[in-house]
Structure 1
Amino acid sequence: MKRLIKLIAKYIFLILSVVLHVITFFSYLDYLKVLEQIEQDNIPIDIMFGGWTIALSFMIIALYELIVKSKYFKLLIRIFLVLLFIGAILKNVIPIDDFDAGVENTSAFSGFITLILFLIYGLKKIYEKRRMPAAKLSRWSRLK
């Protein structure tokens, strides 16, 4: 039981990401119903669904949180993810002008920055891997 709790605690933000994806999918189904009604009424309006931004950004940040080693940076990311999750859930309830757009823009910007951090992390790992054989050779040559 203790192992299960540790596993859930480690992957809680990925679980919350799945919850956000399910909520976004149901709001997309509502969007399709509204779009169908608009087409039946011949109203010349072009609307787009932009709800996937928060869910995808949340998932990207949650994945980055898993690879971060620093305890304090991980805590900062977790606090930000909790605030982003609460904002995503309550974006239609909070009576602030353009609050939903603010939440979407914040999550999109954060997701983009996280993608850059992923790229830096990946390039660093590739660079370390390529340098490894040379380091092994120098160690062996010192022993002889």
Structure 2
Amino acid sequence: MKLYKPLFSIIIIIVQLILSLEDYYQLQEWKKENPELDSLINLVIHYDTLFLFVLIIGIYEMRTKPSLIKKLIRILLVCIVFGYCFSGIIPIEDFKFGIYNTAWFSAVVAIVLILIQMGKYGTKKINKACR
């Protein structure tokens, strides 16, 4: 299995990892400052799964040959990372959740496409071995 120009995806994945770690440490500090509220409030945390979604989409982008689709995937990755990062600035209600849901859907599609690619690769290997 070949990777095609993985540098862009690696950079985006590292940026998302840094942003996720920053959110994690901010949450830990908030929990230390407000221990009485921590047990009362049910927090919805998205930074961990968002990192996994970006990782999956990034892996699919690395495995895609250079084409228009690859450029669109790169644009999608940038929009997801920076859209989620700057969602507080954008005056659209629930914009952050829209970005999260887009990343979720894109990651599911990427997993299906990766499985299809792996199936084709496995089929080629089996057919080659049988000859």
One of 120, 128, 131 as aligned partner of 1:132:
128
Q: Normalising to structure 1: TM-score of the pair? A: 0.77
Shift of 1:77: 1.2
One of 86, 96, 115 as aligned partner of 2:92:
96
Q: Which consecutive aligned stretches of 4+ in structure 1 deviate over 4 angstroms post-superposition?
A: none
Query: Structure 1: which 5+ residue stretches go unaligned?
Result: 1-8, 136-144
The percentage of counterpart residues that share the same residue type is: 27
Please give the alpha-carbon distance, in whole angstroms, between the structure 2 residues aligned to 1:113 and 1:99: 21
Shift of 1:42: 7.2
Name the one with the larger helix percent. Answer: 1
Q: Match of 2:104?
A: 108
1:120 partner letter: I
Aligned residues between the structures: 127
Larger Rg: 1
Shift of 1:70: 5.1
Give the conservation status (yes or no) of the 8 Å contact 1:14–1:62.
yes
Please give the alpha-carbon distance, in whole angstroms, between the structure 2 residues aligned to 1:23 and 1:96: 21
Higher relative contact order (CA 8 A, sep 6+): 2
1:87 partner letter: G
Query: Structure 2: which 5+ residue stretches go unaligned?
Result: none
Q: Match of 2:40?
A: 44
Is 1:75 the counterpart of 2:71 in the alignment?
A: yes
